[in-house]
Structure 1
Amino acid sequence: MPSRFGIALAVILSAVPMVAAAAPVRVVSMNLCADELVLRLADRDQVLAVTYLAQDPRGSTVASEAVGLPVTRGLTEEVVALKPDLVIAGAFTTRTTVGMLKRVGAPVLELGVPADLDGVRAQIRQVASALGHPERGEAMIATLDARLAAIVPARKPLRALVMRPNAFTVAPGGLGDALIRAAGLVNVSAEIGRDRFGEVPLEAAALSNPDLIVVDGGTPGWPSLADTLLHHPVFKALALAHRTVDIPNRFWTCPGPQVAEVVARLADAANAQAPRP
């Protein structure tokens, strides 16, 4: 039996008219990756609110653009109170809120997780079109493609191992894997049998003998237990024996023009790598 709160909320939601306009003028973003595309593609006065994550420079590439905008934590009441005519959400986040919004007929656009660069381009076009600015999407894609075209891929197919916070790696078959391959490198995680949620034990990292180790060095002054791996004696010895490349996780997390920075840094590090004996 539904709770009194649930019944009351349903009554409130049913009383709020939410009709999508041809070109939305009241947009709420409920996902960090949606935030990044919305803030780059929409007019500022279109954006009613973004997530609280958008303003955190440790994980967001649009922190400066998000300054001054209202933020939400993905609660249904917060979104409904704003009376948006478009809500953009991720396919795997804020599921309860998205489900409730759909039940009352709110216009919700759910974004998937691109697995390659073509998927990135498609998602940019999808969001730009939904916002009523398809030409901005094409301009963003042109910028992305120009940046990628200027990158010199690795001259040799060196083997790269990504060690994210808590030793999570980049899954074979995902966008991160596609970026590694776009740089002309080999993703070591595929060799050691890690899946998309797999952690890499230090022993496996050491025995994999990679040419490059990719880490997120973190933000100075923001210590985290997730980064203790970087200070482990085994990892320090591994880093001394191989080239370590620092690429902040915010460049990998979401589809957008920033992914070209990952490809560029990987390729530059590979081309600067001296031949190993």
Structure 2
Amino acid sequence: MPGRWLTYCLAALAVLAVADAPPAAARPQHIVSINLCADQLLMRLADPDQIASLSYFSRDASMSNLAEEASAFPRNRGLAEEVMRYKPDMVFAGRYTKRMTVDLLKRIGVDVVELDVPRSIPDVEAQIRRVGEALGQEARAEAMVREMEARLATEDVSASKRPSAIVYEPNGYTVGAGSIINVLISLAGLENLAAEKGLESYSRLPLEKLVALSPDVLVVGDYRDAPAVANEILHHPVLSRMPRPMEIVSVPQRLWMCGGPDIFKAVEVLRQAADKARARQ
């Protein structure tokens, strides 16, 4: 029975996919995004009339830097049948999200562009160029990359006196080497203790270990005050009684959740914390 249902769904979706399909060489005109990071690149690079729908979280101001702009576009929840109602000629998705939807769309021949998680500035720039090429908006993508490169050239990464820092997230997770966040911490003139201790990307860091490391700067997200059990560790009394003074800074998750020009706003927030910590030394 499940097999028959899947066959029926694929057949129905295939009919929708074939209908009104544009010429292969044409710039895509019915683009659907089911990924928050893709949403923001599309709104910056595509013509508005190229966008048919954005992801459900595109209007969430706590997660998207373009929440207000996203209100101009219909939203979707990433279901294959919902996506196909827009008769897309291209769908943008994340590498690790909505796998069932992505697999179904690929099986019926929909052009799906999957975005990976960038781990470096070159990764971010490559992703911007890739999206621009897919949209037929190469010039806009190149202009965005050039703007980022110009901004990067103004960053002073040679600070000889780098305060130490640790990112601490709900459930006691930290961010180490091999992540874009680690790169941004370095650009801000801070030394990521998690990376120095050999931790990779997202790793657990027990509270006792955090206390022992006693960083100059503790970086938390703006979800710190959200009512959730996972956030309770961020309010542990020990964080206010560390062995030595510690600067606590909140970086809105929307600033470094996705690769794009907004990551430099996160660097600015971190640099201010680095300056305060440096003044204490």
After TM superposition, the score normalised by the length of structure 2 is 0.90
Partner of 2:176: 171
Partner of 1:97: 101
Question: Residues 168 and 227 (structure 1 numbering): CA distance in 2 closer, same or farther, change over 3 Å?
Answer: same
Of the structure 1 ranges 177-186 and 84-93, higher mean CA displacement relative to structure 2 is found in: 177-186
Partner of 1:82: 86
Structure 1 unaligned segments of length 5 or more: list them. Answer: none
Query: Which of 212, 219, 225 is residue 207 of structure 1 equivalent to?
Result: 212
Mapped contact 1:102–1:108 kept (Cα < 8 A): yes
Question: Residues 252 and 182 (structure 1 numbering): CA distance in 2 closer, same or farther, change over 3 Å?
Answer: same
What value does the CA root-mean-square deviation take over the aligned residues? 2.2
Q: 2: distance between equivalents of 1:161 and 1:241?
A: 14
% identity of equivalent residues: 42
| Deviation, structure 1 residue 52 | 0.7
Query: Which of 250, 274, 277 is residue 270 of structure 1 equivalent to?
Result: 274
Paired residues for 1:1-277 under 5 Å = 2-16=2-16, 17=18, 18=21, 20-153=24-157, 154-218=159-223, 222-238=226-242, 241-274=245-278
Q: 1: distance between equivalents of 2:107 and 2:279?
A: 59
Alignment deviations for residues 192-250 of structure 1 (CA, whole Å, 9 cap, x no partner): 44333322221111111211111113387x53433322321012223982111221111
Question: Residues 207 and 47 (structure 1 numbering): CA distance in 2 closer, same or farther, change over 3 Å?
Answer: same
Of the structure 1 ranges 258-267 and 57-66, higher mean CA displacement relative to structure 2 is found in: 258-267
Structure 2 unaligned segments of length 5 or more: list them. Answer: none
Alignment deviations for residues 20-72 of structure 1 (CA, whole Å, 9 cap, x no partner): 55211110011111111111111111111111111111111111111131111
How many residues are matched? 276
Mapped contact 2:182–2:195 kept (Cα < 8 A): no
Of the structure 1 ranges 90-99 and 264-273, higher mean CA displacement relative to structure 2 is found in: 264-273
Question: Residues 138 and 210 (structure 1 numbering): CA distance in 2 closer, same or farther, change over 3 Å?
Answer: same
Mapped contact 1:101–1:108 kept (Cα < 8 A): yes
Mapped contact 1:33–1:255 kept (Cα < 8 A): yes
SS of the aligned residue for 2:93 comes to strand
Mapped contact 2:62–2:254 kept (Cα < 8 A): yes
Q: 2: distance between equivalents of 1:265 and 1:155?
A: 20
Question: Residues 207 and 10 (structure 1 numbering): CA distance in 2 closer, same or farther, change over 3 Å?
Answer: same
SS of the aligned residue for 2:242 comes to helix
| Deviation, structure 1 residue 93 | 0.9
AA aligned opposite 1:59? M
After TM superposition, the score normalised by the length of structure 1 is 0.91
| Deviation, structure 1 residue 147 | 2.8
Mapped contact 1:216–1:246 kept (Cα < 8 A): yes
